[in-house]
Amino acid sequence: MTTQFLCPHCRSTLNIDDDIVLVAQKNDGQKGLVFLHAVLGNYDSRISPHFKIDDMEEVNFFCPTCSADLEYKPRVHLAQLLMMDENAKESNILFSKIYNKNCTYHIIDKSVISYGECAKQFSSPDWFL
């Protein structure tokens, strides 16, 4: 079993090979597909050709299967996915909804592993709970 990224609502697998496939929506209602790299801390991404996101613009992410909003409700500038590792252990992944604000948090039980230059501003595990 390889690492899977799951929708926290419908539990559909959202990754294909090295990409996590999500629907993104801008504040003006425009939507497009976003492919995020599945390796935590790798911020390479691809975006639908017609869908332009400006630097530091916030977008909302949705599950491409069930259309659920992936916003992490306690912190509105973050989105949430579940990650299941090769041993079937689940953990939470939180990532910034702001384009080019590189911060990702991997929450395993009550410990937090952070990635990206902006992630260090929130280092306490209690911040996520």
pLDDT at 114: 86
Q: What are the sequence ranges of the domains in the chain? A: 4-128
41-54 pLDDT, tens digit per residue, is 999 999 999 999 99
pLDDT digits (tens, 9 = 90+) for 76-108: 899 999 999 999 999 999 999 999 889 999 999
In this prediction, residue 1 carries a pLDDT of 55
In order of 4, 80, 84, the CA distances from 1 in angstroms are 8, 22, 9
- How far is Cα 111 from Cα 98, in angstroms, rounded to an integer? 24
pTM for this prediction: 0.89
Q: How many CB atoms lie within 10 A of CB 79?
A: 23
**In the predicted model, is pLDDT for residue 125 greater than 60?**
no
pLDDT digits (tens, 9 = 90+) for 106-117: 999 888 888 887
pLDDT in tens, 7-39: 999 999 999 999 999 999 999 999 999 999 999
Q: Exposure string (b/e) for 22-35, b if CB count within 10 Å is 16 or more? A: bbbebeeeeebbbb
3-class state of residue 69 by DSSP: strand
